[in-house]
Amino acid sequence: MTATASPETSEDLDLGGDSRARGADRGFRGLVTLAGLMVLVVLALILVATALRAMPALSEEGLWGFITGTRWAPNEDVFGTFPMLYGTLVTSLIGMVVAVPVSIGIALFTTEIAHRRLRKYIVTVVDLLATIPSVVFGLVGVLVVVPFIDDWYQGLAGLVEPVPVLTSVFDESNTGRNYFTAGMVLAIMTIPIITSIAREVFDTVPETDKQAAYALGATRWEMIKGAMLPHSFGGLVGASMLGLGRAMGETIAVALVIGGSFHISANVFDTGNTMAAVIAQQWGESTGLHTDALVGIGVVLFAITVIINFAARWVVRRAETKMRGAHS
Amino acid sequence: MTTVHHGAPPDLSGRNLSLRRAAANRAATVGIGLCVLVAAFPLILVAYQVVVRGGSALSLGFLVEEIPRNYRTAGGGMGPAIVGTLLITGMAALIAIPVGVLGAVYLNEYGKSGPLARFIRTMADVMTGVPSIVMGLFIYVVYVVVIEERTGFGGALALACLMLPIVIRSTEEMLRLVPDELRQASAALGARKWRTTLSVVLPTASSGITSGALLAVARAAGETAPIIVTVGLTYLYRPDLFAGQNTTLAAQIYRNATQPFEASQERAWGAALALIAIVFLFTIVARVIASRFAVDRR
């Protein structure tokens, strides 16, 4: 067959055979190649088809105006999506501030502290967390957490009132549906993702490094600080970015607890909206240009998440090869 | 260390650690342990609420009766949503699993580390990160708008797009575990490559492939965003995926959760319990298959 095939595979073992058998081989190869190409086809189609559909709404404002405009008034054909972009960033950021340390903690607990049986239980708990559909988190959030959490927010806002900057970040709360609640839901939903990658990253730390740290008299915490975290830093950054990408695209759980208003507020206890959530909330009642604008939000969201995912994979891969180079 | 110990080895037991170091170590251990509780708490909260509130809503009638048209009407059920969930997810699996498995065959048996295969692998990873709502919008634009109707099949297409990269990556993982000796033995017996792949490689990896595919199905069954964009709404049984609007459990939870009425909230809880039961069933079956037949992975 082809000269490029590596010698240890069966490809260069041409034992002859009739042309029909060879045709079947070629046909099969074509079929599986086509299946593999489907990924590229779908991704390309997503970009082209949704961008074309969103064109009328985008040309109304221009891409820049669409992204930076602060007024969203579909019945006047005014489509500024900055409040949603802001909401997406704020809620994902709140989610990451909570989820990243917690996930790293869980990963450290399973790799370094827990005994084998306990480890299995914890891995199961995290996996179960990942299987719960996002709409169920939203349901529990809106019907169980939102009704009572408002009092807690007000308490916290009262506590930080004398502190200059904090008081504008943790200001008055009128409802439990706000950026902060959405951020908490996002944290819970991204913990399983970040944890599982962080565990893989920690597993690549060479046993000799850890033993060396212990042999120098380090406590467990000093070993983690001195041997594990520096070694894993790149991988952990990548894991966090993958979590961030997931958080920014999360729709339903956020749509239920974000409140659905269109202003920009520094107060995390204020109602808001996110790009994904507004699509879900307004889809049913939208027509014409409004629908196109919602698709346009989807295009921007797609672009952002693809870039974040690319960057995250790149960071993880670079960290991996660097580590392999250092230890082989 | 300046002192040289003669005879007795240095004491590394930690008994004479400085207070600060011991305290830091203890604090870190406690902090790390707390992280586990932070993750366990929402799981317990969600499980408790769904089981208690959903359990009181759930009955045989709830599982089979049609959905009331009015939010306020008590009683009724989620029958059409349960059937819709199973049909739409099943159709998505029928589309995504064959394409995904064949795509993985290309990556592992043909493309290997060639530039095209590497590119597809990267893009499949990127595709897993595409938000589900974007998949819904995509199918809306290329399918729903074209046939001018929201149908169950549109939802199935969107879910299939979500499952495809997961199936490809998990299947490829499994194909990589098939020992090369089996391929060589098959080739030595005169089998063509397609024959070797279909009757030796894929059957050897079948349990791993099935388990990965089931996990993808479980994830798809709980998706809401692409469904509300492409599937529409129905109160009646709609077994035909190709004509007429449809509905799923997840979409019904979303729809009913925001209503202030007791009756609709109760239906949302019941639907949540039914949905979680379905998702867990798929997950557990996948786990059992994976561990039961782990032997053939060597």
Q: What is the pLDDT of residues A254-312, one digit of tens each?
A: 999 998 888 888 888 889 999 999 999 999 888 889 999 999 999 999 999 999 999 98
Strand partners, A72: A79
Q: Which of B212, B237, B231 is nearest to B88 (CA)?
A: B231
The 3-state secondary structure of chain A reads CCCCCCCCCHHHCCCCCCHHHHHHHHHHHHHHHHHHHHHHHHHHHHHHHHHHHHHHHHHHHHHHHHHHCCCEEHHHCEECCHHHHHHHHHHHHHHHHHHHHHHHHHHHHHHHHCCHHHHHHHHHHHHHHHHCCHHHHHHHHHHHHHHHHHHHHHHHHHHCCCCHHHHHHCCCCCCCCCHHHHHHHHHHHHHHHHHHHHHHHHHCCCHHHHHHHHHCCCCHHHHHHHHHHHHHHHHHHHHHHHHHHHHHHCCHHHHHHCECCCCCCCCCCCCECCHHHHHHHHCCCCCHHHHHHHHHHHHHHHHHHHHHHHHHHHHHHHHHHHHHHHHC
- Provide the pLDDT confidence category of residue A228 given band limits of 50, 70 and 90: very high
pLDDT at A209 over 50: yes
The pLDDT of residue A61 is: 80
Q: What's the confidence (pLDDT) of residue A267? A: 87
Nearest chain A CA: its distance from B286 CA (Å): 12
Q: Which residues in chain B (64-93) have CB-CB distances under 8 A to chain A?
A: none
- Report domain extents, chain B: 76-297
Q: How far apart are CA B186 and CA A210, in angstroms?
A: 45
Angle at the Cα of B189 (from B296 to B117), degrees rounded to 5?
Answer: 60
Mean pLDDT of B246-274: 92
Residue of A nearest to B259 (CA): A143
* A30 vs B: CB within 8 A: no
A67-327: CATH class: mainly alpha
How far is B152 from chain A, CA to nearest CA, in Å? Answer: 16
pLDDT value of position A157? 85
- B138 and A49 within 8 Å at the Cβ level: the answer is yes
Quote the CA–CA distance of B275 and B84 in Å, as a whole number.
Answer: 12
Provide the shortest C-alpha distance from residue B131 to chain A (in Å): 5
Q: Which CATH number fits the domain B76-297, given the four candidates 1.10.30.50, 1.10.3720.10, 3.40.50.2300, 1.20.1290.10?
A: 1.10.3720.10
pLDDT at B1 over 70: no
Residue B297 has pLDDT above 60, yes or no: no
Binned at pLDDT 50, 70 and 90, residue B8 comes out as: low
Check residue A328 and give its pLDDT: 41
pLDDT (0 to 100) of residue A19:
76
Reported as a single tens digit per residue, the pLDDT across B149-161 is 999 999 999 999 9
Which of B32, B111, B187 minimises the CB distance to A105?
B32
Residue A7 has pLDDT above 90, yes or no: no
Say what the pLDDT of residue B274 is: 95
Banded pLDDT at B293 (limits 50, 70, 90): low
Q: For the residues A301-327, what does the mean pLDDT come to?
A: 82
Query: Does residue A12 carry a pLDDT above 70?
Result: no
- pLDDT for A6 equals 46
CA-to-CA distance for A168 and B265, rounded, in angstroms?
35
Between residues A87 and A21, which one has the greater pLDDT? A87
Over residues A206-218, the mean pLDDT reads 90
Q: Mean pLDDT lowest for which of A116-130, B3-17, B108-122, B253-267?
A: B3-17
Q: Which residue type, as a one-letter code, is found at position A78?
A: V
List the single residue in B with minimal CA-CA distance to A312. Answer: B126
Residue B4 clears pLDDT 70, i.e. is over it: no
Q: How large is the average pLDDT for residues B107-123? A: 93
Per-residue pLDDT of B195-221, as tens digits, reads 999 999 999 999 999 999 999 999 999
Mean of pLDDT values over A88-96: 95
Per-residue pLDDT at A84 exceeds 90: yes
Rounded to an integer, what distance in angstroms lies between the CA atom of residue A206 and that of residue B33? Answer: 23
Average pLDDT, chain B: 90
**Over residues A166-171, mean pLDDT:** 82
Q: Give percent above pLDDT 90 in chain A.
A: 53
Percent of chain B with pLDDT over 90: 70
**A306 and chain B in contact, CB less than 8 A:** yes
Distance CA A29, CA A26 (A): 5
Which residues of chain A neighbour B145 with C-beta distances below 8 Å? 53
Asked whether residue A11 carries a pLDDT value surpassing 60, the answer given is no
Verify whether the Cβ–Cβ distance B39 to A126 is below 8 Å: yes
pLDDT confidence of residue A14: 53
pLDDT of residue B56 exceeding 80: yes
Tokens 């002859």 belong to: A16
Report the distance separating Cα B191 and Cα A316, nearest Å. 40
Residue carrying structure tokens 């009704």: A147
Contact criterion met (CB < 8 Å) for A50 and B193: no
Domain ranges within chain A, ordered by starting residue:
10-61, 67-327
In this complex, do B129 and A109 lie within 8 Å of one another by their Cβ atoms? no
pLDDT per residue over B179-197, tens digit each? 999 999 999 998 899 999 9
Give me the pLDDT at residue B10, please: 63
Q: Coil, strand or helix: which one is B298?
A: coil
**CB distance B272–A49 less than 8 Å?**
no
Of the pLDDT bands very low, low, confident and very high (cuts 50, 70, 90), residue B101 is very high
Q: CB neighbours of B150 closer than 8 A, spacing ≥ 6?
A: B144, B230, B231, B232, B245, B246
The answer, yes or no, to whether residue A327 has pLDDT greater than 60, is no
Residue type, position A82, single letter: F
